[in-house]
Structure 1
Amino acid sequence: MPKSARLDLLITHLMYAPNGVRCCSSHLFNHNRLLPDVEITMGNRQQLVSSLSSSEMIDLVTDLLSLLHEAVTSARLDFPDPSLNDEDYLTWTGWTKAQFDNMFHIISPYLRSPSNRHTRNALAMF
């Protein structure tokens, strides 16, 4: 599972996947990110009692801290970003970029521009 997908899992579902864990490619977007609408169920999984050695615990915490560092320093999803393509828009909004732009053009006169969020991001969150 790519590091970015592991980070998505941690942030979106509050689940940790250790480095080296595998994931079906049908759950990934562009073989890189976890699909935002993936349903993850853990109810039928058996919980095992385990013990970790001190070196395993250090490796686990180091990996988790690495994921958290990536979350803090990585670029955020930003809809004013011109590098977003149709596939990005479809994945996150269900609309193509042209459809999103059209909707933004229609409603933008009615949106106020807050100091902490671009109006395109406000539309995307809606």
Structure 2
Amino acid sequence: MTLAQHHHIDLTLINGYLEALDIVVIQQMLDLYIQQSELNLTAINRAVVETDQKAWQEQCHKMKGSAASAGLSQVHQKLILLEKSTEDSQTKTQHLKALSLLNQQGIAAFGQWIEEQ
């Protein structure tokens, strides 16, 4: 695993999961996170399209918790910043693209970690 991949995931957290859980369960956790994050990103996008600040904050908050639980530290950090953002829709659209990319990178790093176990 490269240093860049380490940057995306909370190794202390997921190594702790490995001490308590079977790798199959951890893979299921990641699969569940992937499904949930797709729903979250769709809901965040809807909030941008509808210019709904309350929904934006709620959906960012919800995804922030999921990302933290899954050990996706970069996604979590980005959502801490985005949750309170009151920028315009165009700017939020750019943030959402960056968030989506970070999410993909975090998922890939977690998947790589699982393969190495």
Q: TM-score, normalised by structure 2?
A: 0.28
Structure with larger Rg: 1
Q: TM-score, normalised by structure 1?
A: 0.27
- Larger relative contact order, structure 1 or 2 (CA cutoff 8 Å, min sep 6): 2
